[in-house]
């Protein structure tokens, strides 16, 4: 593999519209193997064709920027639907990756908050608290409890 261990293979278009290999830092062995697979190449080519070889955010073409196929989500990784993928220029791809990381982090944060609130509510109101008390009321009381303790580390 060019670039040695720790690199992944991506496919992009050069200025003449030819599909070329680009090696970038590895994310995981599974990801790397998939991106190098024939299955992914077919999906990437189809995405590029659907987008008319243009960045779907800013409109740059294959003639002015390298284009890449971006996973909007990894929920169906290896079984992506066409709507899970979008063609982006390098600059827009970097922004989209950062945005996705932010969305994932917020979802995780909400999940942690919900689990902590649920644990607190079970201690305060009993095991089946949600059968007896409105969740919005419990959330308000939990947030009050947190603010009384100056705890904002959720």
Alpha carbons 34 and 60: distance in angstroms, whole number: 27
Residue 5, number of CB atoms within 10 A of its CB: 6
pLDDT of 2: 33
What confidence category does residue 3 fall into, taking pLDDT thresholds of 50, 70 and 90? very low
> Are residues 115 and 88 both part of a single domain?
no
> Are residues 139 and 77 both part of a single domain?
no
pLDDT digits (tens, 9 = 90+) for 92-137: 998 998 888 788 888 888 888 999 999 999 999 999 999 999 999 9
> Are residues 23 and 73 both part of a single domain?
yes
In a domain, 83, yes or no: yes
CA distances from 23 to 12, 15, 110, 126 (A): 10, 17, 35, 55
> Are residues 82 and 38 both part of a single domain?
yes
| List of E strands, 7-95 | 7-13, 19-25, 67-71, 85-89
Q: In 3-state terms, what secondary structure has residue 6?
A: coil
> Are residues 76 and 22 both part of a single domain?
yes
> Are residues 82 and 114 both part of a single domain?
no
What confidence category does residue 22 fall into, taking pLDDT thresholds of 50, 70 and 90? low
In a domain, 137, yes or no: yes
Of 37, 39, 69, whose CA–CA distance to 53 is shortest?
Answer: 69
pLDDT digits (tens, 9 = 90+) for 30-69: 888 898 999 999 999 999 999 999 999 999 998 888 999 9
What confidence category does residue 1 fall into, taking pLDDT thresholds of 50, 70 and 90? very low
Domain range enclosing 126 = 100-148
């Amino acid at each position: 593999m060019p670039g040695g261990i720790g690199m992944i293979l991506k496919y992009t278009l050069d200025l003449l519209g030819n599909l070329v290999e680009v090696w970038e830092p590895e994310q995981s062995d599974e990801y790397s193997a998939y991106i190098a697979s024939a299955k992914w190449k077919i999906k990437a080519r189809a995405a590029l064709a659907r987008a008319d070889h243009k960045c779907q955010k800013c409109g740059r073409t294959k003639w002015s920027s390298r284009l890449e196929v971006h996973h909007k989500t990894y929920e169906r990784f290896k079984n992506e639907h066409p709507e899970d993928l979008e063609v982006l220029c390098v600059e827009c791809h970097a922004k989209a990756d950062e945005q996705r990381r932010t969305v994932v982090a917020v979802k995780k944060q909400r999940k942690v908050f919900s689990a902590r609130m649920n644990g607190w509510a079970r201690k305060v109101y009993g095991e089946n608290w949600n059968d007896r008390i409105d969740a919005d009321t419990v959330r308000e009381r939990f947030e009050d409890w947190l603010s009384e303790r100056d705890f904002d580390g959720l």
